[in-house]
Structure 1
């Protein structure tokens, strides 16, 4: 039975080929499962940080728009 550390460090390769008309593209990627987990964690952190930023920006704008005007 392989150890977990062995399976997380074993590189895996993915290849893709695309063609549309005269355009052709080919890509290859080699990555370990540990690297894929790290990238997934970074993407999740970025996506989870967006709502608080948007909420803070909207809250500030709402506060600035509802400032009562006092006549002189």
Structure 2
């Protein structure tokens, strides 16, 4: 991060920041920075919930079709 970016005030009054510096041995180094707002965290939670619910429906459909022996719906 440059010095100009470090001194900037938050863009949102409730902005949250996180920074991780990971070093493995001499050759591998990883730096990650995250900036988010409470509204962003809520939207991420909604998206993850939607993904998990749709996965549960797919697993239920697969288990049900394997129990009945029908893998394709009848026409």
TM-score range, shorter chain: 0.5 to 0.7
- How many residues are aligned here? 58
Correspondence for 1:14: 18
TM-score, length of structure 1 as denominator length: 0.67
Structure 2: which 5+ runs fail to align? 1-11, 71-75
Structure 1: which 5+ runs fail to align? 1-7, 66-72
Conserved 8 A contact 1:17-1:24: yes
The CA deviation at 1:9 is 6.1
- Where has structure 1 moved over 6 Å in runs of 4 or more? none
* Aligned partner (choices 34, 59, 67) of residue 29 of structure 1: 34
* Aligned partner (choices 22, 46, 67) of residue 41 of structure 1: 46
Q: Matches of residues 51-66 of structure 1 in structure 2 within 5 Å?
A: 51-64=56-69
Looking at CA atoms only, which structure, 1 or 2, has the larger radius of gyration? Answer: 1
The CA deviation at 1:48 is 2.2
With a CA cutoff of 8 Å and minimum separation of 6, indicate the structure with the bigger relative contact order: 1
Determine the C-alpha separation between the residues in 2 that align with 1:37 and 1:27: 21
Task: Note the aligned Cα RMSD (angstroms).
Answer: 1.9
Determine the C-alpha separation between the residues in 2 that align with 1:9 and 1:41: 23
